[in-house]
């Protein structure tokens, strides 16, 4: 058995003030554990978006008609709330799973040796985005699924996915100064791709806010725009993103770029093709719920893919030779 020394009174007080420091003093996670914790937080960030979409697509958005309790008299769903209450309350409970995943990422990042403040900052950024989105989700319920608040809820979820993706990438790198792997022109092309993707996602929320899936069987306010016209604009933006991705792949091949950016661009292109097929099929089949849910999942994967392309344009070695982790090992093993 491993002997764990007893805490002195001073140490106990310090632990209460900063429990993360106590854990870090007594535990050093393997780098793979830190990476897996960051990946778990990213996966849960996507899951909460997909299950939130399921709430809307099943008409369960007001299954729990108030917040933070489910009803005025009950914290949890009741038998009288039926199927819709179970779906909405289940999605609320998944927020706690997301918090646990983010918390695990924060603890693992804080305990890693040597300490990397950049990772813990990203972990805490995820936590506060989750808290903000939980409150915004409550506002969505309290205002009766107002489409503008629903759109803001999804956009904040996309911000959470962005932070989680960056954290996952940073756990696989060092803390050295970033070194670009491609030229300025390629970097600018990728930033155009990122901007087009942000606009694509934003217009997608307008399509949702104007479309037929209001989120509840009762009369719910919709954005007063013809959703089919906005859908066509959304499709045009999707083609712009696809074209930029293909152009980027062609340019990277032409300049003989490293394998990392090429691989990430190829992955993004394949994701976009799948997402495009789903998008057109759902449009011409009058938006069946299953395909709309798959399209929401695809939106998350496209966003992650775009961010991975952006992050692949540079490398970050260890801050100093000999630091643990894959990046440092590469830096030490590579001749100067």
Question: How many independent structural domains does the chain possess?
Answer: 2
pTM above 0.85, yes or no: yes
Task: Classify residue 313 by burial, with Cβ atoms within 10 Å: 0-12, 13-18, 19+.
Answer: buried
For residue 118, being part of any structural domain is answered with yes
For residue 6, being part of any structural domain is answered with no
- Give yes or no: residues 106 and 210 share one domain: no
Q: What is the DSSP letter of 216?
A: B
- Give yes or no: residues 224 and 168 share one domain: no
Mean pLDDT for the stretch of residues 164-186: 92
Run of H or E including 315: strand 314-315
Q: How far is CA 186 from the centre of its chain?
A: 25
- Give yes or no: residues 165 and 91 share one domain: yes
- Give yes or no: residues 165 and 183 share one domain: no
Structure tokens at 318: 């260890």
Identify the pLDDT of residue 297.
Answer: 95
Identify the pLDDT of residue 325.
Answer: 41
Mean pLDDT for the stretch of residues 209-215: 74
Mean pLDDT for the stretch of residues 313-334: 51
Identify the pLDDT of residue 1.
Answer: 45
- Give yes or no: residues 59 and 168 share one domain: yes
Percent residues over pLDDT 70 in the chain = 87
Over the stretch 219-267, which tens digit does the pLDDT of each residue have? 678 888 888 889 899 999 999 999 999 999 999 999 888 999 999 999 9
For residue 3, being part of any structural domain is answered with no
Give the per-residue SS3 of 18-87.
Answer: CHHHHHHHHCCCCHHHHHHHHHHHHHHHHHHHHHHHHHHHCCECCCCCCCCCCCCCCCCCCHHHHHHHHH
Over the stretch 270-287, which tens digit does the pLDDT of each residue have? 999 999 999 889 888 888
Contact indicator for 170, 312 with CB cutoff of 8 Å? no
- Give yes or no: residues 189 and 148 share one domain: no
- Give yes or no: residues 129 and 223 share one domain: no
- Give yes or no: residues 97 and 202 share one domain: no
115: nearest Cα among 332, 329, 325 = 325
More confident residue, 6 or 291: 291
Residues 6+ apart with CB under 8 A from 214: 56, 59, 61, 145, 147, 220, 222
- Give yes or no: residues 100 and 219 share one domain: no
Q: How far apart are CA 133 and CA 139, in angstroms?
A: 10
- Give yes or no: residues 102 and 121 share one domain: yes
Expressed as residue numbers, the domain containing 235 is: 178-315
Domain boundary among 177, 195, 213: 177
Domain boundary among 142, 177, 212: 177
Residues 6+ apart with CB under 8 A from 200: 234, 237, 238, 240, 241, 302
Q: How far apart are CA 310 and CA 325, in angstroms?
A: 22
Over the stretch 46-89, which tens digit does the pLDDT of each residue have? 999 999 988 888 888 888 888 988 888 888 888 888 888 899 99
- Give yes or no: residues 63 and 195 share one domain: no
- Give yes or no: residues 73 and 189 share one domain: no
């Amino acid at each position: 058995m491993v002997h764990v020394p007893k805490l002195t009174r001073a140490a106990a007080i310090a632990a209460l003030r900063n429990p993360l420091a106590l854990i870090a003093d007594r535990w050093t996670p393997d780098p793979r554990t830190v990476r897996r914790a960051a990946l778990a937080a990213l996966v849960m960030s996507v899951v909460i978006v997909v299950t939130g979409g399921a709430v809307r697509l099943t008409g369960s958005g007001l299954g729990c008609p108030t917040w933070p309790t489910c009803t005025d008299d009950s914290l949890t769903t009741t038998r009288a709330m039926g199927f819709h209450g179970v779906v909405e309350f289940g999605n609320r409970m998944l927020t706690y799973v997301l918090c646990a995943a983010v918390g695990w990422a924060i603890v693992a990042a804080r305990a890693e040796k040597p300490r990397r403040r950049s990772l813990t900052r990203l972990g805490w950024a995820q936590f506060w985005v989750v808290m903000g989105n939980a409150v915004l989700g409550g506002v969505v319920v309290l205002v009766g699924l107002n489409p503008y608040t629903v759109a803001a809820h999804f956009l904040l979820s996309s911000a959470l996915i962005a932070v989680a993706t960056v954290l996952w990438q940073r756990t696989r790198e060092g803390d050295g100064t970033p070194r670009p792997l491609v030229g300025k022109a390629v970097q600018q092309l990728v930033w155009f791709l990122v901007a087009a993707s942000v606009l694509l996602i934003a217009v997608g929320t307008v399509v949702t806010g104007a479309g037929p899936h209001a989120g509840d069987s009762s009369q719910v306010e919709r954005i007063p725009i013809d959703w089919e016209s906005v859908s066509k604009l959304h499709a045009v933006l999707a083609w712009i993103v696809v074209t930029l991705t293909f152009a980027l792949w062609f340019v990277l091949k032409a300049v003989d770029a490293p394998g990392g950016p090429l691989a990430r661009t190829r992955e993004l292109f394949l994701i976009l093709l799948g997402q495009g097929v789903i998008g057109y099929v759902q449009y011409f089949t009058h938006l069946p719920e299953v395909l709309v849910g798959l399209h929401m999942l695809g939106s998350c994967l496209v966003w992650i893919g775009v961010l991975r392309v952006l992050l692949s344009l540079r490398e970050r070695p260890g801050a100093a030779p000999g630091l643990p982790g894959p990046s440092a090992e590469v830096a030490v093993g590579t001749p100067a």
